[in-house]
Chain A
Amino acid sequence: MMLRGYRDSDLPLLSGDWLPGELLGLPVPGRPPLAEPARVPAPRDPAEDGATGEDDELCVVPGAGFVRLAAVDWVHRRARLEIGLRPGAEGGAEPLLKAALDHAFRALNLRRVFGWVTPAVPLPSGLPRDALLRDAGLAPEADVPRALWLDGRPVARQIWGATRHG
Chain B
Amino acid sequence: MADLSLLGTAEAAARLSAAPQTARGFLGLDPVTQNAALLARELTRTGAQVLSADGVLLGYAPNSVQPRQGWVATTSADPAPLAALLDFLRTYRRCTSYVAEVPEGAPAVAALEACGFTGAGRLPGHVFHSGGYHDVLVYSATQEG
Report which A residues bind B (CB closer than 8 A).
20-21, 75-78, 111-112, 114, 140-149, 154, 159, 161, 163
Contact = CB atoms under 8 A, between A and B. Distances in A.
A161 B123 contact: yes
B125 A112 contact: yes
A148 B123 contact: no
B65 A141 contact: no
Most buried by A among B64, B66, B142: B66
B122 interface: yes
Interface stretch (B3-11, B13-21, B126-134): B126-134
Nearest to A76: B128
8 contacts: A75-B33, A76-B126, A142-B121, A145-B120, A146-B68, A149-B66, A159-B138, A163-B125
A77 B126 CA distance: 9
A148 B133 contact: no
Interface residues of B, number: 24
Contacts of B99: 144, 147
A154 to B, nearest CB: 6
Contact of A147 (B66, B124, B126): B66
B65 A144 contact: no
Interface in B42-71: 63-69
A148 B142 contact: no
A75 B65 CA distance: 27
A144 B140 contact: yes
B67 A149 contact: yes
A78 B123 CA distance: 11
Nearest to B33: A75
A107 B101 CA distance: 29
B76 interface: no
Contacts of A142: 120-123, 138
B66 A154 contact: yes
Contacts of A111: 125, 133
A163 B140 CA distance: 23
B69 A147 contact: yes
Given A141-B138, A144-B120, A161-B123, 13 more contacts: A75-B33, A77-B128, A111-B125, A112-B125, A112-B126, A140-B121, A142-B121, A145-B140, A146-B66, A147-B65, A149-B66, A159-B123, A161-B124
Given A111-B133, A154-B68, A159-B121, A146 B142 contact: yes
Nearest to A165: B125
Contacts of A75: 33, 128
B69 A114 contact: no
Contacts of B67: 149
B68 A144 contact: no
Contacts of A149: 65-68
Contacts of A77: 128
Nearest to A111: B125
Contacts of A141: 121-124, 138
